[in-house]
Amino acid sequence: MSMLHTVNKSPFERNTLVSCLGHATAGSAILLIEDGVYGALEGTAHSDLLRGALADHSVYVLGPDLNARGMTDDQIIEGVSVVDYGGFVDLTEKHEKVQAWL
Partner 1 sequence: MSEPWEEEGPGTIKKFMYVNRKAPYGTIYALESLEVVLIAAAFEQDVSMAFLDDGVYQLKKGQDTKGIGQKNFSPTYRALEGYDVEKLYVEAESLADRGLSEDDLLVPVEVMSREALAELMNEQDVILSF
Residues that bind partner 1 (CB under 8 A): 8-10, 12-13, 34-35, 38, 41-45, 47, 63-65, 67-72, 84-85
Give the nearest distance from C-beta 96 to partner 1 in angstroms: 27
Say which residues have a Cβ less than 8 Å from residue 47's Cβ, sequence separation at least 6.
41, 77
- Tell which residue, 93, 78, 88, has the closest CA to residue 30: 88
Give the nearest distance from C-beta 67 to partner 1 in angstroms: 5
What whole-number distance in Å separates Cα of residue 18 and Cα of residue 15? 5
Give the nearest distance from C-beta 81 to partner 1 in angstroms: 17
